[in-house]
Structure 1
Amino acid sequence: MRQLMLGEMLSSLSAIPAEAVEHGEVFTRRWIVDLILDLAGYTADRDLAKLVAVEPACGGGAFLAAMAARVSVSCRKHDRPLRDAERAVRAFDLLTPNVTASRQLVREVLVDEGWSLPEAREVATAWVRQGDYLLDPYVQEDVDFVVGNPPYVRLEDVPADRMHAYRAACPTMTGRSDLYVGFYERGLRSLAPGGVLAFICADRWMRNQYGRQLREFIAAGYSVDVTVTMHDVDAFEEQVSAYPAVTVVRRARQGDAIVVDARKGFGPQDAPGLVESIFRGEPVTERNDRYEVARLPHWFTGGDSWPAGSPSRLALIEALNDRLPPLEDASTGTRVGIGVATGADSVFITTDADVEPRRLLPLTMVRDTTTGSHSWSGHYLVNPWDADGQLVDLAVLPRLRAYYQRHAAALKRRHVAGKRPAHWYRTIDKVDHSLIDRPKLLFPDMKTIIHPVLDEGGFYPHHNLYYIVSDRWDLKVLGGLLLSRVAQAFVEAYAVRMRGGTLRFQAQYLRRIRVPRPETISAADRAALAAAFDARDTRAATEAALRVYGIEDAGDVIGGSAFVRGSGS
């Protein structure tokens, strides 16, 4: 009954426009397909006829051709007739031409392998089905493999009725998701215990907001076994800007994880050696001019963005994550925040507004931090908040009332004013008066290099500045750590990189930085870090930070491999 209802629903849905699907098709080179199948363990030495593999978006049959060849060899190795493999593969595609082409390709491969045309035709027809993998009621559960290259189609390009059906079927497809997120979810849900999903796909979901639910889903019940970043590899039949990565995920408790960075020049001559090193079953650290490999003791947990970077840098970050507390830490009273957003800077930020003097709060702007020292430019916030967090009474502040009323039209147009008309003169954020006199480290949002600047107190940060306050850290010592390339490595691993290499130094990324406990730092290293911070000497700060963090080799912090002492800081 459930299948019938779903079938009726599907028949009423608008089809995805063919041009949208075709735009999302990126065909994979054969040697890449073979690499993925090898990493998944879909190899001819296994009795593939008794296993079930799914190709959820077969396109022209790139994966199916390789799978057919392996099934053929496997059948002969295990003394099976080809018809035993009729249920060994299930492939789906929305487009009739793709279904026809895939069946024909499978037939040709099997005939070339020496099987008769009738049995090859029978198997090819059984393997390939026209349907929508995300919604098809006949998608098999408890399968052994899900492999392929899912389509890249933004949900906004899908008709509304089908988009809603996709979101209902695949809860991880949140926000401005891409269709491939749903393919990951449905494929993973279909796996039997121990089953493997291996996709080549754009890797943006590992770090961006719309991938958060998928990351949480994987962390809760699956093991990330292998990731192979292939941004500069010629992996597809056409040139595309897809930022691809191969991801191998197993339905099992998380074990160790292999991280590979395949560089420009990585090709079919390298794939067998890479596979051999991965399955050697021993600690792996391998680097050459075409790829680098590292074995991590486990993968990164939770829904927060997964770090990016070379395998050695990821190994470093994972080791520090395991050993040290995060920067924001209740035990040290260290907190990361952002300055005040007003919704109308032209009104609230001034150098000479005619208001009661106590309503002018000295405000730090990004320009005040440019030199690395706090140099106030004379800007104030026309402050509508009193010390207990309540809006001031304009009736007792005639100059402030007159100032705001002169700008009432602009202030009342803001969304925050529309939500609370009686509070039309508020800033978006409240002012935390306890922050004003505290020393704080300030960080401009957009920079290529981490740029901590010390405000000794007496100022409030603007919204384009993030801040750190602490009860136990000497902020110059902490500032030296955060000026170092170690802190930069954390932010580079997690942060969004914009055009021109600019990084977002937002609170969510600053919080990912790990630091030693302040009491474990020697007096000499505290002095060295503080002196480096005062001098804005990144090299000296990095040298001291390496000692404090217990990093024996500068390694990938500044461009090579990195090894972390098991004890120390």
Structure 2
Amino acid sequence: MRRSTLGFMTADLAPLPAESIEHGEVFTRPWVVELILDLAGYRSDLDLASLTAVEPACGTGAFLGPMVARLSASCREHGRRLQDAARAIRAFDLLGRNVEASRRLVEKVLLDDDWPSEEAVAAATAWVREGDYLLDQRYDDTADFVLGNPPYIRLEDVPSSRMAAYRAACPTMTGRADVYVGFFEVGLRSLKDGGVLGFICADRWMRNQYGRYLRQLISDGYSVDATITMHDVDAFEEQVSAYPAISVLRRGEQGTAVVADTKRSFGPKDAAAILPWVRQGSVASVLSENYEIARLPHWFKGSDSWPSGTPGRLAMIEDLNDRFPLLEDKGTGTRVGIGVATGADSVFITTNDAEVEPERLLPLSMVRDTVSGDLAWSGHYLVNPWDSTGCLVDLDAHPRLRRYYERHGEVLRRRYIAEKRPANWYRTIDKIDHRLTEQPKLLFPDMKLTVHPVLDEGGLYPHHNLYYIVSEAWDLRVLGGLLLSRVAQIFIEAYAVKMRGGTLRFQAQYLRRLRVPRPEMISDRDRALLAQAFDERDSAAATIVAARVYGIDPGLVV
């Protein structure tokens, strides 16, 4: 029985079902492979025989064939024997049939390049092995390159024993992660200092919650050298809905980052055109009919989701991140929150003001109250179980409230929070902070096509489908003008989850990513213009002023 260096008895693990593996196999078109090898720097002018390149899921050789061709050319150019390259390639695959197909391909490439037959066979046997890369990788910090297209398999489609081994081996594989997250992690950890990983893979990990630990790993010790989004490009041998992107990551300090977005028509000629631009280190962005490409001075740090958008907009966001503080800021007392969740809206929310004692009714703002842009209260109340100190009221002191809750007791008691705390069966999920009721606040509906701040001057408590902003320093009409602008819209579009039809989720985690100038940095004239634009719901006017306040080209935000 063989033990891998990651500590698993691999013979004890159930094999992956063939259908899951085959579902994960998506073969990359040759010109895309060549682009990735070029971006990663795996070039024949280097002495590749002295370096180590890993292909972690070789399949039938989509990456392996071009890699061997470049290695062969490098050996010729540097006067190397093929035996000198015995450790130059390590390729893995779980399927024996793929291993055999890849070995035949390696032999063919080498024979076509006039290497002796026995040397070609020996090299193919040494370079391609059957095994599970995530569990059999035994060469920490020895790879100069990790190159390929990792398999796309949801963890829930993996047998439980192997899934447990994967999760233990790859701490970044959390939640409902895809197996490819583990390939990123193991590949990155295997790199030498200065080593490069080049993958084409679904880009969901860049933004979804399950990718947070991988993003943190990269932020802590690796450089994002390039990302090329290829969602609509015909990058694979078969049609798949994989949201692919090329990622080139290097072990070392973060440097400048190339970011590109492509259109469906992007092809081999465009790939060839961008390479000189990348290699020459040009700082001028390029916008063609098939792609847009720009260079950012650095990349985004931490585990938070990476923004999406055109390269020009990403560069703008990075610039604003560098120059302005976050919206939520202790210095200005600005805070983002969400309204009350009850767990039983049908009980806790009413329009009948005669149901309970008047002091137990809290006027509640609803999404429908914000539609026009001016807050128009629809007469909804929260049947409020909380006193001003944040404690549940004594129902004996409020007999009408008790009768009301008891009438709906079955609904209230079967909620999870009531089962967890039976004595507090009539509580809402969230406590009520009564101070919030009278505070002026900007309200944001949870789901909207465009940013839609609405001012509550005080008197209502927000429902949980509304997010709110309160501040000690901001005139909320001025802040509302900034947040009505296209600058705020671009931030939200870059970070927020997009629903069907383009609807955006205006959640607290995304609102907190907004960058704003400090209130005192805005001139009296611009403050007045922003407040006026907010009152008139004039996003275009707000955008003109916001561009001036942020010091950015208005053309970037129209």
Q: Does the alignment reach a TM-score above 0.5?
A: yes
SS of the residue corresponding to residue 195 of structure 1 reads strand
Query: 1:133–1:139: 8 Å Cα contact kept in structure 2?
Result: no
* Shift of residue 138, structure 1, vs aligned partner: 3.6
- 1:368/1:190 CA distance change after superposition, 3 Å: same
Secondary structure in structure 2 of the residue aligned to 1:295: strand
Distance 1:471 1:73 in 2: 67
Kindly indicate whether the alpha-carbon contact (under 8 Å) linking 2:5 and 2:138 is maintained by their aligned counterparts in 1.
Answer: no
Q: 8 Å contact 1:207–1:306 — kept in the other structure? A: yes
- The structural deviation recorded for 1:286 is 1.1
In the alignment, is the contact (CA less than 8 A) between 1:7 and 1:137 conserved in 2? no
> For residue 509 of structure 2, what is the aligned residue in structure 1?
508
Q: 1:506 to 1:5 in 2, by over 3 A?
A: closer
Aligned 1:268-307 pairs, distance under 5 A: 268-307=268-307
Amino acid in structure 2 at the alignment position of 1:233: V
Shift of 1:207: 0.3
- Tell me how far apart the structure 2 counterparts of residues 139 and 22 of structure 1 sit (CA, whole Å): 27
The reply to whether residue 159 of structure 1 matches residue 137 of structure 2 is no
Match of 1:454 in 2: 455
| Letter paired with 1:376 | W
Instruction: Give the Cα–Cα distance (whole angstroms) in 2 for the partners of residues 341 and 373 of structure 1.
Output: 23
Matched, 1:410 2:379: no
Aligned to 2:524: 523
- 2:15 corresponds to which residue? 15
- SS of aligned partner of 2:134: coil
In 2, distance between residues paired with 1:257 and 1:453?
38
Question: Does the CA contact (< 8 Å) of 1:278 and 1:284 recur in 2?
Answer: no
Q: Name the CA distance, whole Å, in 2 between partners of 1:32 and 1:146.
A: 16
1:262-290 CA-to-partner distances (Å, cap 9, x unmatched) read: 22211111112211101102313111111
CA contact (8 A) 2:2 2:9 kept: no
Aligned-partner Cα distance in 2 for 1:456–1:557: 29
CA separation of 1:137/1:291 partners in 2, compared to 1, >3 Å: closer, same or farther?
A: closer
Deviation at 1:52, TM superposition (A): 0.2
1:331 counterpart SS class? coil
The one-letter code matched in structure 2 to 1:49 is: A
Cα deviation, residue 5, structure 1 = 8.8
- Residue 362 of structure 2 corresponds to 361
Measure, in 1, the Cα distance between the counterparts of 2:407 and 2:338.
29
Residue 152 of structure 1: how far off its partner (Å): 0.5
RMSD of aligned residue pairs (Cα, Å) = 1.3
In structure 2, what is the equivalent of residue 326 of structure 1?
Answer: 326
Q: In structure 1, how many angstroms separate the alpha carbons of the residues matched to 2:117 and 2:367?
A: 72
Q: How does 1:66-465 map to 2 (within 5 A)?
A: 66-136=66-136, 138-139=138-139, 141-352=141-352, 354-465=355-466
The alpha-carbon distance between structure 1 residues 437 and 4, as it changes in their structure 2 partners (threshold 3 A), is closer
Q: Secondary structure of 2:483's partner?
A: helix
Question: After superposition, where does 1:477-556 map in structure 2 within 5 Å?
Answer: 477-551=478-552, 553-556=553-556
Q: What residue in structure 2 maps to residue 44 of structure 1? A: 44
CA contact (8 A) 1:3 1:137 kept: no
Query: What whole-Å deviation, never above 9, does each CA across 1:353-372 have from its counterpart, x for those lacking one?
Result: 51000100000010000111
Q: Number of aligned pairs?
A: 557
Alpha-carbon distance, 1:498 to partner: 1.2
Query: Contact 2:336–2:511 (CA<8 Å) still a contact in 1?
Result: yes
Equivalent residue letter for 2:371: T
SS of match in other structure, 1:279: helix
CA distance in 2, matches of 1:423, 1:139: 56
Task: Give, as a single letter, the amino acid of the residue that structure 1 aligns with 2:516.
Answer: V
Q: 1:544 to 1:142 in 2, by over 3 A?
A: same
Alpha-carbon distance between aligned partners in 2 of 1:118 and 1:2, rounded to the nearest angstrom: 29
> Structure 1 unaligned runs (5+)?
559-569
Once the two structures are TM-superposed, the CA of residue 109 in structure 1 deviates from its matched residue by 1.1
| TM value normalised by structure 1 | 0.96
- Percent pairwise identity: 69
Q: Which amino acid aligns with 1:110?
A: L
Please state how far the C-alpha of 1:555 moved relative to its aligned partner: 2.9
**Secondary structure in structure 2 of the residue aligned to 1:105:** helix
Within 2, Cα distance between the matches of 1:143 and 1:6?
A: 17
Cα 1:242/1:4, change in 2 over 3 Å: closer
Task: Classify the secondary structure of the residue corresponding to 1:300.
Answer: coil
Q: Secondary structure at the match of 2:105?
A: helix
Aligned partners of 2:299 and 2:137: how far apart in 1? 33
State the SS of the aligned residue for 2:438: coil
Q: Distance in 2 between matches of 1:4 and 1:373?
A: 64
Quote how far apart the aligned CAs of 1:81 are.
1.2
Partner of 1:564: none
Distance of 1:442 and 1:541 partners within structure 2: 18
Q: 2:202, 2:276 → 1: CA distance?
A: 25
Partner of 1:566: none
Q: C-alpha distance in 1, partners of 2:451/2:300?
A: 24
> In the alignment, does 2:34 pair up with 1:34?
yes
Report deviation, 1:492. Answer: 0.4
Q: Output the CA distance in 2 between the equivalents of 1:8 and 1:464.
A: 46
Q: Tell me by how many angstroms 1:141 deviates.
A: 3.8
Q: Deviation digits for residues 474-497 of structure 1, max 9, x if unmatched?
A: 000000000000000000001111
> 1 CA distance for matches of 2:246 and 2:295?
16
Aligned equivalents of 2:542, 2:5: Cα separation in 1: 65
